[in-house]
Amino acid sequence: MTPNPLALIAEITHRCPLHCVYCSNPLEMAAASSELSTEKWIDVFQQAGNLGMLHAHLTGGEPLARPDLTELIAGARAAGLYTNLITSGIGLAEMRLKALVDAGLDHIQVSFQDSREDSANWIAGAKAHAHKIELSQLIRRHKIAFTVNLVIHRQNIDHLDEMISFIEQLGPERMEIANTQYYGWALKNRAALLPTRLQLDKAMEAVAAAEKRLDGRIRVDFVVPDYYARLPKACMGGWGRRLMLINPAGKVLPCHAAEVIPGLQFENVREQSLENIWQHSPSFQRFRGEEWMPEPCRSCDQRTQDFGGCRCQALLLTGNVEATDPACTLAPAHHIVEAALAEANSTTAVSQPTSASSFVQLQRAENLWTYRTNPD
Amino acid sequence: MSPPEDTSQPRLAAGCRWGGTEEARVILFPEGAIKLQGTGRQVLERCDGQRTFGEIIVELQSQFADADPAKIRADISQFLEQLRHKRIVDY
């Protein structure tokens, strides 16, 4: 028997008013017409609770795009789950926030794209920044946990100090400073997003100083950029070891990006129980344990810590899903990551808008990146 | 960050709450959960925002009369400081 999963990631819709250039959604998104019903999601939360899961992370797309979000939060809470809403905040005003809190929302995580309005809107491809600030003030009137998430990359990392001070003023319990992870949209836009070594070193200093200064007041979580790491990340805490992700159409995946792996069939909660999928799905079993591992992973001391790194990244960068994650300095294919870093460090193109050039103008004038599109 | 003072009133931080079953109680917080048994559970059950740190210490010192009272104080202080660092407890 495989130990129980700990948390459910519920991607309740892929619809989103933002178009962030590093969105973690797949390039092929689930159509609005394929989305699970309210009743089915509530049933899924019940199954998750019975399976011993502790947390439900409701995410998207933008989860607020679902008019039944309050019912879904209530359903997850009734199933005994700790409820976390991961949101841009667009579509949330006072009444709805109160309804969500009354329904049992435990934690809200609001993403910001930058501290500077022009740049934030440029990265999101939408005018969202000012609303997020207003919303943060509303959130602080409720007794729920509040996390501010900020994705950092080549275009905003140079003023991380300023961004940390900005978040501090919003008064969350936590800030998550996350380096971009290169899958889907972010991989497409990698050249515009991958920071230089110098940028990263400065950012790490800013984070270390903030951790010290804010200790006991705001917890600072830093997501390391794996391209610059010595060892790969234990993606999702290991394939099929801790988490289950359900996409808007009910497909059950071990991680956000798993659908890029050819040859894997993913079961659907419309047809099978979560427990059955967790215990018996060939896709969930595919990279559990160490049987599948190649060298150097198979005989490496780190294999119980990083589980060979990320399978999706291995596939996307090498074409071989069983390869050691190329982010690892011991990987035979590490030269692929080194080549990307060499390119990132040989140019200095930072294209942040000034107040004179709005993000709309920049979007038209430059082919710097591709904005995330919306599903049908 | 400083340790709790005798007049501090420790409490669970916003969005942190009890969960699990009576036999296996956990504190749920945004990134995870901690299982609480024995003295850890006894301490946190008293962190209700009403009792002061000083009162909690006295209660536990009398309950565990065999243990060194100074060590009880030091251990609980350190325990709460660690939980505040993780933003699970406020005081």
Question: Using a CB-CB distance cutoff of 8 angstroms, which residues of chain A are in contact with residue B84?
Answer: 216
Question: Using a CB-CB distance cutoff of 8 angstroms, which residues of chain A are in contact with residue B30?
Answer: 82, 84, 106-107, 109, 145, 147, 173-174
Task: Answer whether residue B80 shows pLDDT above 70.
Answer: yes
Contact B84 A216 (CB under 8 A): yes
pLDDT attached to residue A204: 97
Q: Could you tell me which chain A residue has the CA closest to the CA of B33? A: A54
Q: Which residue has the tokens 């400073």?
A: A177
Task: Answer whether residue A70 shows pLDDT above 80.
Answer: yes
Q: Which of B2, B8, B22, B29 to mutate to test the interface with A (most CBs of A within 10 A)?
A: B29
**Tokens of residue A138, six digits:** 């509303």
Reference A142, options A172, A113, A186, A119; nearest CA is A172
Contact B30 A215 (CB under 8 A): no
Mean pLDDT of the region A15-22: 95
**pLDDT per position as a tens digit, A83-139:** 999 999 998 999 999 999 999 999 999 999 999 999 999 999 999 999 999 999 999
Contact B1 A215 (CB under 8 A): yes
Task: Answer whether residue A350 shows pLDDT above 60.
Answer: no
Q: Which of A53, A57, A106 to mutate to test the interface with B (most CBs of B within 10 A)?
A: A106
Least confident of A79-88, A269-278, B33-42, B72-81: B33-42
**pLDDT per position as a tens digit, B1-45:** 899 999 999 999 999 999 988 888 999 999 899 998 889 999 999
The DSSP element (H or E) to which B73 belongs, if any, is helix B69-85
Burial letters A309-347, b for 16+ CB under 10 A, else e:
bbbbbbbbbbeebebbbbbbeebebbebbeebbeebeee
**pLDDT per position as a tens digit, A236-248:** 999 999 999 999 9
Contact B16 A147 (CB under 8 A): no
Q: What number is the ipTM of this complex?
A: 0.92
Q: Cα–Cα distance between A75 and A43 in angstroms, integer?
A: 8
- Quote the crossing angle between the two packed helices B38-45 and B69-85, to the nearest 10°: 70
The DSSP element (H or E) to which A166 belongs, if any, is helix A160-170
A164 at B interface, C-beta within 8 A: no
Task: Answer whether residue A357 shows pLDDT above 80.
Answer: no
Contact B29 A144 (CB under 8 A): no
Q: Cα–Cα distance between A368 and A342 in angstroms, integer?
A: 19
Query: Which residues fall within 8 angstroms of residue A250, CB to CB, at 6 or more apart?
Result: A36, A40, A268, A269, A270
Q: What percent of chain A has pLDDT over 90?
A: 90
Q: Which of B2, B27, B87 to mutate to test the interface with A (most CBs of A within 10 A)?
A: B87
> Which B-chain residues 23-82 have CB contacts (< 8 A) with chain A?
26, 28-33
Mean pLDDT of the region B63-83: 95
